[in-house]
Every structure is written in structure tokens, then in C-alpha cells.
Structure 1
Amino acid sequence: MNDYTLSQQYALVGLDGQDSIHTTTAKSAVCRGIAAAKHLERLILSDNLDLEAVKEELEAEFKEIRGIGRKEAHGWETEMTEVLKAKGVLDEIPDILACDINYSSMNMDLRTYRSDGTEYQRIVEGIRAEILEDGAVTLECACLVWLFRESGCIHDIFSVQEQERLSARMIELAEQDPVVRVVWDSDIYRWTEKLSQKLLRAKKNFFKNPYMEGVNLLFPFLDRRQAVFIDFVVLGTNVANRRLAMMTYLSEKGHYVEEVKNGSETLLKVDNYYYRVFPMTRVYYKIPVQGANLVPVYR
């Protein structure tokens, strides 16, 4: 992780899978996170930290970040993506959403960022090892966890059980390090996102939704991925043939696709994310369409 600055590490995880053309709530949160990471880099590099000065500075900077507009957010995005593309660790690919039956026939230009898989895993696993295991935690790691919390990335990195451990660990670290406490108590969330969080919590309480499996809402959740229904005509009806047809289709669309064992089930890894596959038939305009539903899997 020493090859990248704090903001670059954060962006490689935060921007992965996000719309590279259009403005979305999830990407806007990541852009604010990039701006915050730039400020936190100075904090990490400082040898002499005055707690009151740090608190006052971060409060002022984060207040400003919460209010940045679309143009400024796009500026942060462009600056960071140009650097990461130059390093060869970020590219743009067709969005998997473009494979959905509702979009595939509309000829829409849907593209997304994809981080280098090796670097993505190296950053994520490094953070997981440092924060979940006993031992010292660097200020850089604590800041990254906070940035992931603020942009809804926690659910892609830590499982439900691990989030309980993570919460306890951060409370413990905040008690030991006043600077960590100042960062952990801060936020760059907008009130509209907090409202969405409350609505999502209410929705989850009323409906059992496989799309939300693995999300306990202990940490803020933003809709960074969506379920996708892919239609195709295949011979036979067994699940294996359908899965193979879908994997071939996604590969032809420019995605890295592989099957990954997860206990007794087999998940589909598309680029850096995991999906469950549900073969099914849907009716569109009174016509039955055979295909498969890809439902995001959170840790």
C-alpha cells in the first residue's frame, strides 16, 4: 500500500464499479471522499499534531466538502482518475448495467470505472488484516476506514460479522488516540443521504430482499451496485448451461468473469465484485423472456 497515497488507495476502491460518465449519489460521495483524503494526507504526514488545531481545521474543511457542487466534485474525479489511469491501475469499461434487459436495447452509453484487480485486492486485504487483527493500527488505515464508511464502501470490504468487530475496534482506537477520535466523529455525509439511509432501513425492516443480504446497516449504505437481469435464449433448461451462456455474454462485453466457490454455493465474480445467479423467466410486454438475474453479494 506504500506505492499509493492515501487518496489514491481510497479512490482505487471507491471509484471501482462507479459510473464514469454520469453523476450518481454513490459517486458524488466518493468524490467528496477524495477531497477529504487530500486533507487527511497532510494530517498523516505531520509530525507535530495539535489536537485542538486538528479538530478546528477538519471541522472547517469537512463543512466545506459537504457543500461542494457537481462541477467541483467532477474536478476531483477528473484529477484523480487521470493519475490512476497514467499509473495503469484504472480503466473504463462498459457498465454491467448495460447488459440489463431494460438498457440493452436502448443504445445508451453506460460506462464504469474498473480498478486493477491485483491492486484492489492488495489494498482491501491490507486494510482488513490491519484493522481486524489485534495489534497497532496506523493513522492511515484508520483514515481509510473512515473514508470507506462515509462513502458506503464498508459493505464491500467487511462482512456483517466483521462489521461488529470493526465498530468495536474503531471505538477502542478512538479511546486510545484523540486524533483518530476526531476523525471518526466527523462526517461528510449530506442530509439527503442520511434521509435515504433512514428510508432504506425502514424498507429492509418491511421486506426480505435478497439484494440486501449481507447488509446490516450498522454503517451507512449507498446503492453502489444494482441487480441485473440478462435475457438470452439457450438450449436445454439446466442451470449449468445458463450460467455458461451468461459468462460468455459478459466476457464478450469486456468484463472479467469467473466462478468462485463460497462454501456450498458458487458465486460469479464479475471484475472486482461478486454476484449470485438466479435463472428465471420474466414477462415483458406479455412475452416470457428466459434469462438470469445477477444479484450483488456483499461480504
Structure 2
Amino acid sequence: MPATTSVETAPPGGGTPPPRARRGLSGRGGTALGLGSAVLYLSLIVLIPLAAVVWRSQERGIGYFWDAVTTPDAWAALTLTIGASFVVAVINLVMGTVIAWVLVRDRFPGKAVVDTLIDLPFALPTIVAGLVLLALYGPNSPLGLDLAYSRAGVVLALLFVTLPFVVRTVQPVLLELDADMEQAAASLGAGSLQIFRRIILPNLVPAMLSGTALAFARSMAEIGSVVLISGNLPFKTQVASVYIFGQIETDNPIGAAATSTVLLVVALVTLLALDLLQRWGSRRG
């Protein structure tokens, strides 16, 4: 019998097929290297520091942890921070969506400038933002509106630093929406409100929720923009981040770690709830 020889099929256009060993980093080796690098980086930057904070908060037991977070000043700071962050998140949910809609669907002079200014809170140091807000809405306000050393001033500062989150998550979704679906619905007699409720809104909800959750988590961690305009009045305008800083200064790192752990847990629960909502929404879709 004649010997059987293996013949490799040449690709169209001639040439020899590339050897299997030259598949680049898309094989198992490349995947393992990329995954290992990502896990190592996240561990060094995020997981290990967070674990250290949680461990430090439990250093003297759960009883000391509970006492540290339920002192009147700590509880007042946590209540104000979480409550103000919730209010800011709701306002961002509505107004961030409106701003994104205007930037995508409307045309007006200076639109490019407004679109650029949306990202200003990301680039501007937050302590500078606090100074600007104090100058505009402080005791010597040129607008005649004094919000300094009040909870309204805290909300205003948090609104400033969290402005881009909902806008920048909703805006790309609006840009990618198929206008033919809206035109088809309009040709079948659907009104503007019905088109928005049945076609546009279901596509926007995941992005709206993502931006809202990010704004909520960011608000709980803010210190730079609120430290000046709030006045840091205990039981009134002192947010949790300023309280934690004060505990560090008074040589109480365990109390600071305990309060930080509460904020961390609230942020994680918020993000996990958002993930569950998105998974539920994708299954229904």
C-alpha cells in the first residue's frame, strides 16, 4: 500500500498556513498570563487594602466595632452621608438622564462646550470645587444664596462631583438607539410619551441604574468638595469621610476603620443589588 502523507491546505491566495504555535496570546498561556496579571494588580490596589481595613475594624472584637459605629457623632455622620448620597443619586438619575437627552437629541449653540464641561468634575481637584462652591454659595454669595454650613450645601457639593456619572453612562446608549424603531412606532400612531415609555426607556434603564449606583458610591466617599462648604459641624453637617479623618487625627484608627467598613459594606450592597437588577432585566429582555 502506498504511504499516506498529510497535506496541509494552503489558504486562498497561496502561501503557507501559519504554524499552530504562532497563535499569539489568545491561547491558554496568554489567558493565564492576563488573568494572573489582572488578579495581582486588583489584589495589590483594591482587595488587600480593603481587607486590611475590614480586619483592622475587627481588631478588638465585634462589640468594640458596634460601639465605634453607634456613638452619637459616628451615627450622625453615617446617617447624613448615606441619606445625602441617596438624595444625590435620585437627583442624578433624573437630571443626568435629561442632560444626556439634551446633549444627544437637541441642537443648540455651545453644545460642544457644554459637553466638555460635563467632565470638569473629573478633572478639577475636589478641594478647588469646594472653594468655588463656598465662594458662590457661602456667606458672601454674589447670588444671594447662602448654603454654607448646611445640609443643602453638602448635597450641592456632592451633586457637583457626581454630575458626569449618569450623563456619561446614558449618553452612549442614546447615541446607539435605532431611530428606525421610533419612526416605525410613530407611523403606527404611537405618541411621543408612549414611544419613550415603550421603546426608549427600557433601553436606558440599565445605564441609568449603573450611573446612579456609581454616583451613590462616589458620594459616600467624597471629602474634598464638602470639607469647606459643610463647616464640619458634628451632629449637623459632618460627613463620614471627615469624621474618619478626625478619628485618624485623634489616634483612633480602629474607630476610623469601623466607620470605613460600614461605608464599604453599603457600597458593596449597592453594587451587588445593581448587578442583580441588570441580570434580571437581561433575562426579561
TM-score, normalising length: structure 2: 0.21
Indicate the structure (1 or 2) with the bigger Cα radius of gyration: 2
Between Structure 1 and Structure 2, the one with more strand by share is 1
**Larger relative contact order (CA 8 Å, sep ≥ 6):** 2
TM-score, normalising length: structure 1: 0.20
Between Structure 1 and Structure 2, the one with more helix by share is 2
